């Protein structure tokens, strides 16, 4: 069973449609393996900037420091990738709208619509 957090943004005067996003919990293997690329393709620009700055700082460590430091950075990215995604959604105006437990995202969406029909139009956008 997977846990998904629900994030919703209502319509605004700027013409943006309501939007609902499901973010799964757990370790992200692609964020661990491809760190900055994963951040870039997910649109997490500030997190990407932070990761690059930390990687540059790690490069100045003496001895075997850079190898261990970059491994630690990538482990942190793998474990906290979804937290960074949720943080970015909050910055973009999404509010926490709940939690859904389901085996996969499709069933989580069905359960969310059954429990909170008002969020359904944002899922279809």
Could you list the mean pLDDT of each consecutive 10-residue stretch along the chain, which spans 125 residues?
92 69 95 96 96 95 91 96 96 92 94 88 70
Residue 60 belongs to some domain of the structure? yes
66 domain-assigned: yes
Q: Which of 76, 94, 125, 82 is closest to 8 using CA atoms?
A: 94
Number of domains in the chain: 1
C-alpha–C-alpha distance, residues 125 and 123, integer Å: 6
Judge whether 103 lies within some domain. Answer: yes
Within-domain flag for 85: yes
* 17 located within any domain: no
51 belongs to a structural domain:
yes
Residue 52 lies in a domain: yes
- pLDDT of 9: 87
pLDDT at 14: 55
- Position 124 scores a pLDDT of 63
Question: What does pTM read for this prediction?
Answer: 0.86
Residue recorded with tokens 């850079």: 66
What is the domain range of residue 49?
A: 2-7+25-124
pLDDT of residue 36: 93
């Amino acid at each position: 069973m997977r846990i998904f957090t629900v994030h919703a943004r209502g319509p605004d005067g700027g013409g943006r449609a309501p939007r609902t996003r499901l973010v799964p919990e757990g370790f992200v293997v692609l964020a661990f393996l491809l760190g900055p690329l994963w951040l870039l393709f997910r649109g997490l620009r500030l997190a990407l900037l932070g990761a690059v700055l930390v990687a540059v700082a790690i490069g100045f460590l003496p001895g075997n420091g850079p190898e261990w430091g970059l491994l630690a950075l990538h482990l942190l990215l793998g474990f906290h990738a979804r937290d960074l995604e949720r943080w970015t959604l909050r910055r973009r105006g999404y509010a926490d709208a709940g939690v859904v437990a389901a085996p996969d995202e499709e069933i989580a969406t069905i359960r969310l619509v059954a429990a909170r029909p008002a969020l359904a139009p944002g899922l279809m956008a």
